[in-house]
Amino acid sequence: MPTSSRFVVAVHALVALAVSGDKPLRSEDLAHSASTSPVVIRGLLSRLSAAGLTRSQLGAGGGALLARPAEEIGLLEVYRAVEDTRLFTLHRTPPPPDCAVGGNIVGGLQPALTRAREAFEAELDHTTIAEIADEVARLGNFTVPLEW
Amino acid sequence: MPTSSRFVVAVHALVALAVSGDKPLRSEDLAHSASTSPVVIRGLLSRLSAAGLTRSQLGAGGGALLARPAEEIGLLEVYRAVEDTRLFTLHRTPPPPDCAVGGNIVGGLQPALTRAREAFEAELDHTTIAEIADEVARLGNFTVPLEW
DNA sequence: GGGGCGTGTAAGGGTGACGGTTACACGCCC
DNA sequence: GGGCGTGTAACCGTCACCCTTACACGCCCC
């Protein structure tokens, strides 16, 4: 399955906003930085602002800003805000309920799948946009906020 | 993205084989139990046998069998055997290296993504086909091996 | 030893999500 | 008020997934 690149691009955009500080960034700027199109970025920002992670300033000199300090934005929130797909996909058509295995496999398997998903999410929740931004600044040898 | 249902269907097939005991099951039987087609099942069995989890008996009365005790087959092995997609998809086209963020985001983000993937895989590795089979038998109120 | 059963694999088609593009209405700052 | 930038809809190309059909091969049973 092609999983979507939305999560990584959304983190990219949020890190760019964190690095930018108080200066709003246009969707065109973010699109250039992430090698995608402004419309895709605006679609992501639409979801992120609905989740309370960003806000937008209209008009000339406008653009996107973080709605909260980068230290308070965890990767799990970002993941949930932009990713539609589930970690596991069940049978395309449900198995027959009158089958000994088919009728009980979903119920029997679900707890294990849930545990794996929760372990995944808990680990994502441990990291914040600020940590990623700091690491990017360290790798790129620059300081936050960065003047473009 | 539609993620693939291969993992769940593969576990379904392996649980059916575990429940069946020594009696080989045809791809047609497994397909019926999982509400899919025999060709899809054979494609999964092909991957599972390549991974050393199942083996096949040709000819009349033939079918698929577990190559190892169900207690020794972990869900992570199954996942790796049949699933092609990655948990995270990076930018469709790589970000520009000369960008302060674009040039370092992948390197800065990778460790967090790896930790999440490893937590996910470690949790999957804790569960075996035998445990799922036991739970299915409990829910279905039957005993293993089951006569069909 | 031959007939038939069952596997393994390839090819083609339908479906759905994703990402890109174009287009356009609205709101806000200069 | 003019222009900048956002927000959203519509359309399209692409790709993985799953299903179906088809067929060659290997093995068991009679």
Q: What is the pLDDT of residues A101-134, one digit of tens each?
A: 999 999 999 999 999 999 999 999 999 999 999 9
For A25, list phi and psi in degrees, rounded to 5. -115, 135
CA B102 to CA A94: how far, in whole Å?
43
Q: What is the mean pLDDT of chain A?
A: 95
- Contacts of residue B33 in chain A, CB cutoff 8 Å? 95-96, 99, 101-102
- Contacts of residue A11 in chain B, CB cutoff 8 Å? 105, 109
Q: Residue A54: what residue type?
A: T
Question: Which distant-in-sequence residues (6+ apart) come within 8 Å of A62 by Cβ?
Answer: A24, A26, A56
The pTM score is 0.93
Determine if residue B52 is left, alpha or beta; phi over 0 gives left, psi from -120 to 50 gives alpha, anything else beta: left
**For chain A, how far is it from start to end, CA to CA, in angstroms?**
37
pLDDT tens-digit map of B44-99: 999 999 999 999 999 899 899 999 999 999 999 999 999 999 999 999 999 999 99
Q: What is the mean pLDDT of residues A78-100?
A: 96
Nucleotides of D under 7 A from a protein CB: 2-10, 15-22, 25-29
- Read off the tokens for A111: 């707890």
- Read off the tokens for A87: 């970690």
